[in-house]
Amino acid sequence: MTDCQGEGAKSPMELYEKLTAKGDEVRVLKTAKAEKAEIDAAVQLLLKLKIDYKQMTGQDYKAGCPPSENSVAPNNGPAADGADDEDTVDPWNVSTNNAKGVDYDKLIVRFGSSKIDKELVDRIEKVSGQKSHRFLRRGIFFSHRDMNQVLDAYEKQKSFYLYTGRGPSSEAMHVGHLIPFIFTKWLQDVFDIPLVIQLTDDEKYLWKDLSLEDCHRFAVENAKDIIACGFDVNKTFIFSDLEYMGASPEFYRNVVKIQKHVTFNQVKGIFGFTDSDCIGKISFPAIQAAPSFSNSFPQIFKGRKDIQCLIPCAIDQDPYFRMTRDVAPRIGYPKPALLHSTFFPALQGAQTKMSASDANSSIFLTDTPKQIKNKVNKHAFSGGKDTVEEHRMYGGNPDVDVAFMYLTFFLEDDEQLEKIRQDYASGALLTGELKKLLIETLQPMIEQHQERRKQVTDETVKQFMTPRPLNFNF
């Protein structure tokens, strides 16, 4: 964010705190009968901060009333400044007119989250004692809420747990679906903490034209791909809502508590529900919120309700957790912290995310080496020039090139990636050569995934999905 907004405040809360401090300062100056010029200067700054606050949150500043997490200006109309260039990002739609993809810096301002800057990446590295994951080094996980608080507590030996999830809408998962799981696995390894994974088969039943049986079957099938990411069965609990909701009174009690503290008006504002949406959809957000509270899992946390939760997820899931963070203090629980990722672009370009329903928009986890090669060569949007001569002369544009974008997700070596970027931009590296590098990165990665998935039996899935204590002492 630019400095003109709240002197660099990164979130509505930070700006609110600055405003409160400035208000106090003005009061002190007035009481002390300070010079008029000095008082005027402070008042001017106060007014400016108030304008910034209104801009950021869409609400007027009121002393003693901290901003609600849901004070995000909803994006269901033209932008406030009249320009109609805003990106669409909600749990069901992601789109932008920009070939480089969604403007994530703007999203941070709109959602009121904080940027994961170099300082935070370094701090995660220091506290975990491990080199940061490439998703952190490369800004793929780019935004957060309260991560510093999680690290402060961890440094004082106060542990936390991870919560992530997946909506099982089909049997087929694509590489984009793995992003949060690859990163969550890394977090589990470096911090050595419990993990719960919610499979929202109920959500998919409510939103899609699918039977309950199919949704549940997809949940179990997807669990196999998730397990193949390498999670430790002694540290991980995977659950389907359709199963666990009925088996855990504690989980359901939290759902009901949340339901009592969120109004229809609020979910309408956050999710855009209308009068003709079924009541299942309207109450579903409470079910995605409940795993953020540790006492939803008494078998793991021995009934404790105060264990801090950290949620790695794609930024489109944030509306659920803004709502969760808003209700948490009102029902006596800590607010979950969050780490947000960017979207994995479709092969056709970064204007939208990959879709499981379009076979040519994605690389599936079941694709053969040949299918991978064909899809990348035929469908990956290229930032290269039309002819080799032109390309050699002017160079390609890695910022809109999907093969290059995919390499930023999956190629581990920073130096090699930077060299590829420079060579592509200079024209030394041709589109076909860049695509070949991607194909050679994806083929073994997918093959290894398929190998690991083959090892996952129904028995393994059952183990992961059985409510039980994990290897942690709470």
Residues that bind ligand TRP (CB under 6 A): 163-167, 198, 200, 203, 288, 311, 313, 317
Minimum gap (Å) between residue 316 Cβ and ligand TRP: 9
Q: What's the CA gap between 6 and 3, in Å, rounded? A: 7
Q: In sequence order, what are the residues at sequence separation of 6 or more whose Cβ sits closer than 8 angstroms to the Cβ of residue 422? A: none
Minimum gap (Å) between residue 198 Cβ and ligand TRP: 4
| Residue 385 near residue 394, CB atoms below 8 Å | yes
DSSP 315: G
* Residue whose tokens read 């694709």: 367
CB-nearer residue toward ligand TRP: 61 or 301: 301
Q: What's the CA gap between 367 and 346, in Å, rounded? A: 16
CB-nearer residue toward ligand TRP: 166 or 375: 166
CB-nearer residue toward ligand TRP: 16 or 163: 163
Q: What's the CA gap between 192 and 120, in Å, rounded? A: 19
Q: How many helices (H) and strands (E) does the chain have?
A: 21, 11
Strands (E), 167-252: 195-199, 236-240
CB-nearer residue toward ligand TRP: 227 or 311: 311
Minimum gap (Å) between residue 362 Cβ and ligand TRP: 15
Minimum gap (Å) between residue 166 Cβ and ligand TRP: 5
CB-nearer residue toward ligand TRP: 173 or 407: 173
Q: What's the CA gap between 247 and 251, in Å, rounded? A: 9
Q: In sequence order, what are the residues at sequence separation of 6 or more whose Cβ sits closer than 8 angstroms to the Cβ of residue 130? A: 190
Q: In sequence order, what are the residues at sequence separation of 6 or more whose Cβ sits closer than 8 angstroms to the Cβ of residue 66? A: 13, 16
Separation of CA 101 from chain center: 16
CB-nearer residue toward ligand TRP: 70 or 317: 317
The full DSSP string for 446-465 is HHHHHHHHHH--HHHHHHHH
The full DSSP string for 32-58 is TT--HHHHHHHHHHHHHHHHHHHHHHS
Minimum gap (Å) between residue 190 Cβ and ligand TRP: 19
CB-nearer residue toward ligand TRP: 342 or 431: 342
Helix then strand then coil, in percent of the chain rounded to 5, is 55, 10, 35
Identify any residues that bridge with 93 across adjacent strands, giving them in sequence order: 90
Query: Which two three-digit tokens encode residue 425?
Result: 């931009």
Q: In sequence order, what are the residues at sequence separation of 6 or more whose Cβ sits closer than 8 angstroms to the Cβ of residue 297? A: 196, 237, 248, 250, 251, 291, 467
Q: In sequence order, what are the residues at sequence separation of 6 or more whose Cβ sits closer than 8 angstroms to the Cβ of residue 472? A: 159, 193, 194, 235, 300
Minimum gap (Å) between residue 411 Cβ and ligand TRP: 25
CB-nearer residue toward ligand TRP: 144 or 391: 144
Minimum gap (Å) between residue 93 Cβ and ligand TRP: 12
First to last CA, the chain: 40
CB-nearer residue toward ligand TRP: 137 or 281: 281
CB-nearer residue toward ligand TRP: 166 or 325: 166
Minimum gap (Å) between residue 301 Cβ and ligand TRP: 18
CB-nearer residue toward ligand TRP: 59 or 355: 355
Minimum gap (Å) between residue 152 Cβ and ligand TRP: 23
Minimum gap (Å) between residue 280 Cβ and ligand TRP: 14
Return the amino acid letter for 465.
M
Minimum gap (Å) between residue 210 Cβ and ligand TRP: 13
